[in-house]
Structure 1
Amino acid sequence: MEDYLFEATVHNEDGVDGVAYVEGEEKLSVSISSPTADKPGTNPEELFGLALTTCLNATIKSLLKARGLTNHSRVTAKIQLRREESGVGFFFQVHILASIEGLELDRADALVQSADKRCPVAKLTQNASTITLETVPYEK
């Protein structure tokens, strides 16, 4: 028996000026462009944001379901590309906002914090000083 549940092979040969794709028929293929260029396409910042918000919200929804709840939830991330103070190199500053409809803020926050500890993408970035997670009231 294999010890993983899923595996994807993803390719990028062009950096931020070309195409990146998931190996296989009818899999994702995206045009890539630099976030600082005025060209069509996506970039690492947007792709990271999509991965993080999708995984974290899926984990929140799983925890809600396990508690017999059907509340709507939403996760929004603002991903900023910033230059290091030294002027050499870059980093992502990430602000994550999570909300759950119909739950008191403290109860929603407990669930969001629990999801953050369980989400596979969030686990990759735990304790990162450039990431903040805030639970906010749900707005339609």
Structure 2
Amino acid sequence: MTALDKILYTGKTHTVGGREGRARSDDGQLDIALSPPGSGRPGTNPEQLFAAGWSACFEGAMTLAARKLRIPFPKNAAVDAEVDLGMIGEGYLLQARLTVSLPGLGPEQAQMIVDEAHRTCPYSKATRGNIGVELRIGN
């Protein structure tokens, strides 16, 4: 593990019961039931949580990218994340798609922001070379 020069924040959770359990953060802000995908049981699953975290982080990275590139960032920007849980042979794997909406920007400006955000977003860095990732620019 690479040592960080400075830790900005540490998210801490305690999970009991895996995909059929419960996850709680140490500060009480997250307290959520977990359930397997497609089970119909109350709760969310790790793939949804990962999609929510990545999309939120990616939008933040786009905001910083737009500032760096001196492109006005649309107030109604959005990121739709899809995280697939699948298998190759006997092994479980993830793949993901991020669809970005940057209303009011031309395709070239939007692409510049998305490319820069993908270079700097911590979630993008963590997944780079580890899972299949597709970036799309939508409306």
* TM-score, normalised with respect to structure 1: 0.85
Q: Decide whether aligned partners of structure 1 residues 103 and 68 sit closer, same or farther in structure 2, where only a CA change above 3 A counts.
A: closer
Q: Which amino acid aligns with 1:63?
A: A
- CA RMSD in angstroms comes to 1.8
Partner residue of 2:10 out of 3, 7, 12 = 7
Match of 1:94 in 2: 96
Deviation (angstroms), 1:3: 2.3
* TM-score, normalised with respect to structure 2: 0.85
User: What does residue range 1-140 of structure 1 map to in structure 2 within 5 Å?
Assistant: 3-24=6-27, 26-66=28-68, 67=70, 69-71=72-74, 72-84=76-88, 86=89, 88-136=90-138, 138=139
Q: Decide whether aligned partners of structure 1 residues 68 and 80 sit closer, same or farther in structure 2, where only a CA change above 3 A counts.
A: closer
Q: Which runs of 4+ in 1 moved over 6 A?
A: none
CA distance in 1, matches of 2:55, 2:35: 21
Q: Is the 8 A contact 1:61 1:73 kept in 2?
A: no
Deviation (angstroms), 1:45: 0.6
CA distance in 1, matches of 2:102, 2:29: 31
Q: Is the 8 A contact 1:60 1:73 kept in 2?
A: no
Q: Which amino acid aligns with 2:83?
A: I
Structure 2: runs of 5 or more not aligned: none
Deviation (angstroms), 1:129: 4.5
Q: Is the 8 A contact 1:59 1:119 kept in 2?
A: yes
Q: Is the 8 A contact 2:67 2:73 kept in 1?
A: yes
CA distance in 2, matches of 1:76, 1:127: 21
Identity of paired residues, percent? 26
User: When the two structures are aligned, how many residues end up with a matched partner?
Assistant: 133
